[in-house]
Structure 1
Amino acid sequence: MVKYIISFLIALLPFSLLAHEGFSLKVQLHNYENDTLLLAYYHGERQLIKDTLFRDHESNQFFISREEPLDPGMYLVVMKPDMRFFQLIVDDNEQDLSLEADAESISGSILFENAPQNTAFFNYLNFLENQRKKADGLREGDEEDMDEEEKEALRKKLLNIDEEVIEFQNKLTVEFEGQFLGVFLKANRDPQPPEFEGSDSEIRRQRFQYVRNHFFDHLDVTDSRLMRSPVLASRVNHYVDNLIPRHPDSISIELTKILDRMMENEQIFRFFLPHFVNKYARSNIIGMDAVYVHLIDTYYKTGKATWASEEQLKSIVENADRMRPTLIGKTAPDIVLQDRDGQRVRLHELEYDYTILYFWRPDCGHCRRYTPQIVRFMREFEDENIGLVTICTKFTDEVETCWKYIDDTDGTDLFLNLVDPFHRSRFSVLYNVRSTPLLFVLDADKEILSKRLSAEQLFDVVPMLMKRNGQDGMEMLEEDPLDQTQGE
């Protein structure tokens, strides 16, 4: 009989294990009238729907069961119709979840069955809320009415609240080391600079450098679990947007370091590489197309973006190649055009301290707004050796419309007006002229100093470039959105 029972239990064992290999979620939600809940997940900084939980009217509970376990990460239970949500943790050891809560006060009422990470996570959220209330209470007074002693006392109390939060985080990080909650809290941790000496500006600089150099000490950019949480994308984006000098060379170097590490995890690499390619393809900051070209050269041209089809690769690489000749810092492509009398004019033979190239069309609405402003600019800077070279983008018999517009427009005699009726110079290819108006600023050696400016920006940018001529560095300026979204 005993032998039979043992055999029976052994026979049941695989089925018992199978019952726990998938994922299940049971939710008892009070004060919630809708018959469905949504289960969502994080993908970078986006939230996507994973599944739907339906109410069982007999038990009044919401339930979902899946044969396969969910990938570990942070998920969201979304309530209808207002789409409020609360988060929960799914990990290898927490795939069978059961919870009860009041929809009107989730954090204050939620209870989990046998889910230590989730229980600890909501205890942490409640602790943070209490600490926030403490800090808000201390800040209720007007600091302007405080003397220095009172201000210092307030600062110490607020610092003590911060230290209590860090201590609580550290405790949970140790308790759940290697589990999702521990990894998540660790990844959210900011570097804590030591005490530095020097002037206020020196201390700020040293603290900034410390934070930048140690930003990734606790953030594993290869951990897939963090992709399914809000932390990885937000932290990486914060680093790129706030801790790197806004210069294309600096950004390219740092992005390469980050992406090279991410290559250890194809899922993460496959998310972030297109993310940054799109970010810098669409950037309104002048000069950031150099970052785009760098990413294409480093990862797409070398075959490291293994998911890209041949057609996609061809399109992406061709786009980068179109941008390459006119990156800031490069020598502008030399082109030969002609004036109204048919005389050849070579760009690199023009002897100006600064040359402004203005690609335009007579039937371009934005050009009609730009041209009077450019005339005003040239009159204001007429004592400077600045050449304004206009290049009408019309061809063959339509070139006459260019000359007519010039004749009818006041001030265009201040410009060197040129055309290329048969496109022999290939200017539209060499300068990537996809829309007009389009402006470039060149120095005496025809190096590209700035581009894709609005006419109004000339009044600020050109004097700045003249002032900084001969100095290292480059000021990054916001482009006029018209140049990006409304060019004709």
Structure 2
Amino acid sequence: MHPRSKLLFKRLLLVILCALPLFSQAQKRQKSHDISFQIDGYPNEKITLAYHQQGKHYIEDSLFTDGRGRAVWNHIEDIPRGVYLAVFPALGNIYFEFIVSGNESFDIRTSADNVVDNLAFQGSAENDVFYQDMDQMAALSKQANALNAQIQGANAEQKKVLRDQIEVLSQTIKASRAALMREHSTLFYATLLGVMQETEIPEELSEADNRVKFQYYHDHFLDYIDFSDPGIIRTPVFHNKMMNYLDKATEQVPDSLMKAAVNIVELSRANDDVFQYVLVQVLNKYANSEIVCMDKIYVELVMRYYKTGLAYWTDSTQNAKIVERGMALAPIVCGQIAPEMCLYDHNFTFPANRLNEVCLDNIESDYTILFIYDPDCGHCKKATPKLVDFYEKFIDYDISVYAVSTTVHDSAQVAEWHEFIESKGLEKFYNVADLFNNRGMRDNYDLSATPVVFVLDADKGIIGKRLGIEQIEQFIRSYWSSNDRERFDRAENDFGPLKDFIEELRRQREAGEDEGHFEGDGHDH
């Protein structure tokens, strides 16, 4: 497969393409908005037409050439704009890319013996500019690759000269594409280059603090994207741009990500197709995230767009399920006050005729670990001793454990619960249960499996959730590093650097010494 068939969408140093001549041959114009293919030496064979989306290729249509190698794709005005691929199965799935803008008929001609080298367009300004730009970029890339190869054996002075020359080529690319965007502003390819445009820190911020530079980078990351053009979602660059905005151009904390997610969704509302694509992709990203507290973003999107009926493409049944899920999570996202629980203390003899309640809100500790478990859960049995170890290690750090068993008022279950507390050494915890299943514990905490861990601050605000027992120390010390510096410094002195602890956890995982369970790996409820 010749590399020219791929779009040149990366930085100069990351692109390796060869410049190829472009030969033009005219074909008879189509009367309607059609694309004609003339593939010499490819009679009575299949052409698969596909498009880019989500970093993948999806089939749009299939054509079959006649005995002369000719085929016509009719009514492309009904085909969404974007970057498409013509794939030739009989030639080992070799393909070339072309742009469909929906408003022009054009002809494509090539030959089976060299599909890419002999590629020519007639009547398509979009594809003429597209391939002319690729040829220029390929030529400049070839020069940069040659210079880069020389760096390997060069001395310091020579390296500086070579890097300066590469920088000149890089600036040439930027200037050329900026000019192309100005001169061909009405073409879809100009819109495509806008998606590819990189954010540069202005000279006046060159001496600024890194946080200031990063904020500028974040604020201007999407500046050149035309969200009103539906064609951007059928390209190989938009999806990655969107994900890079969230993953690389935004601080990786829930509140910052929530604002970024809402921002890009709001921008996407300039076009219905783009809005649907962006909202669904971002919603799914955070619905399935295993990163602590990221469900907060999911809930925000559900409340803004699904609960209000703005996600018009979703049928009523599916919309109701999404909203129901969002409503269940809303009270227990990070930043919310944990729902109050007043549950029954374990100090009683079955059958219970006198029960004492212990309320979560009445625990006076700077931090509380809310641990919900099932005494009969296999992973709970393995994980609980690690929680005891954590508690004892940080016993002087004002951390309490409110341990909630799923036990109900049954003689066998109560006996099992009491034995679990004694055998696992939980006597220093607050040991409680919703014995009569009438305190709403399961619903309030969206309990579907055990064990479940929440980390609460002094006000019982949720600062962490859905952690594995093995993750608690890393999480809370990381939290202290930004929010409780005195405790963080004390822990660094008492237990060694956090980075060393994290490295040891990584080593244990790689060696298979730590099973690396997350919450909910045990019993379903």
TM over 0.5: yes
Q: Give the C-alpha shift of residue 284 in structure 1.
A: 1.4
TM norm structure 2: 0.79
Partner of 1:317: 323
CA distance in 1, matches of 2:459, 2:248: 34
Matched, 1:446 2:455: no
Matched, 1:157 2:165: yes
Letter of the 1:72 counterpart:
R
Q: Give the C-alpha shift of residue 83 in structure 1.
A: 4.2
Partner of 2:386: 373
- Is contact 2:51–2:58 with CA below 8 Å preserved after alignment? yes
Partner of 1:134: 143
Matched, 1:361 2:380: no
1:445-481 superposed Cα distances (whole Å, 9 cap, x missing partner): 212121111111112222344455458xxxxx99x98
Matched, 1:413 2:427: yes
Identity rate, percent: 29
Letter of the 2:438 counterpart:
R
CA distance in 2, matches of 1:204, 1:101: 53
Partner of 1:294: 300
1:232 to 223, 229, 238: 238
TM norm structure 1: 0.85
CA distance in 2, matches of 1:151, 1:287: 46
Matched, 1:94 2:104: yes
Q: How does 1:395-410 map to 2 (within 5 A)?
A: 395-397=408-410, 399-400=413-414, 402-403=416-417, 405-406=419-420, 409-410=423-424
Matched, 1:173 2:181: yes
Partner of 1:10: none
CA 1:191–1:416: 2 relative to 1, 3 Å: closer
Runs of 4+ in 1 over 6 A off after TM superposition: none
Partner of 2:6: none
Matched, 1:349 2:358: no
- Is contact 2:343–2:357 with CA below 8 Å preserved after alignment? yes
CA 1:46–1:334: 2 relative to 1, 3 Å: same
Matched, 1:460 2:474: yes
SS of 2:311's equivalent?
coil
Q: How does 1:162-241 map to 2 (within 5 A)?
A: 162-196=170-204, 199=207, 202=208, 204-241=210-247
CA 1:463–1:226: 2 relative to 1, 3 Å: closer
Matched, 1:146 2:146: no
Letter of the 1:38 counterpart:
T
CA distance in 2, matches of 1:159, 1:206: 25
1:254 to 257, 260, 278: 260
SS of 1:47's equivalent?
strand
**After alignment, is 357-366 or 403-412 more displaced?**
403-412
CA distance in 2, matches of 1:450, 1:45: 32
Q: Give the C-alpha shift of residue 428 in structure 1.
A: 1.0
**After alignment, is 80-89 or 344-353 more displaced?**
80-89
Gaps of 5+ in 1: 1-17, 472-476
CA 1:227–1:51: 2 relative to 1, 3 Å: same
1:396-436 superposed Cα distances (whole Å, 9 cap, x missing partner): 32633642551573433343322112112211111111111
CA 1:144–1:187: 2 relative to 1, 3 Å: same
- Is contact 1:399–1:421 with CA below 8 Å preserved after alignment? no
1:250-286 superposed Cα distances (whole Å, 9 cap, x missing partner): 2222332332232231111112112211111111121
CA distance in 2, matches of 1:127, 1:449: 52
CA distance in 2, matches of 1:110, 1:322: 56
SS of 1:28's equivalent?
strand
SS of 2:395's equivalent?
coil
CA 1:193–1:445: 2 relative to 1, 3 Å: closer
2:31 to 11, 20, 34: 20
Q: Give the C-alpha shift of residue 388 in structure 1.
A: 1.7
CA distance in 1, matches of 2:520, 2:484: 33
1:61-97 superposed Cα distances (whole Å, 9 cap, x missing partner): 1513324533332111123375443210112453332
**After alignment, is 451-460 or 308-317 more displaced?**
308-317
- Is contact 1:34–1:80 with CA below 8 Å preserved after alignment? no
1:279-310 superposed Cα distances (whole Å, 9 cap, x missing partner): 11111121111111111111122221222333
1:189-210 superposed Cα distances (whole Å, 9 cap, x missing partner): 22343323664xx265454344
SS of 2:97's equivalent?
strand
**After alignment, is 382-391 or 396-405 more displaced?**
396-405
- Is contact 2:265–2:275 with CA below 8 Å preserved after alignment? yes
Letter of the 2:191 counterpart:
V
1:329-360 superposed Cα distances (whole Å, 9 cap, x missing partner): 22111111112223211111122222111111
CA distance in 1, matches of 2:210, 2:44: 52
CA distance in 1, matches of 2:96, 2:183: 23
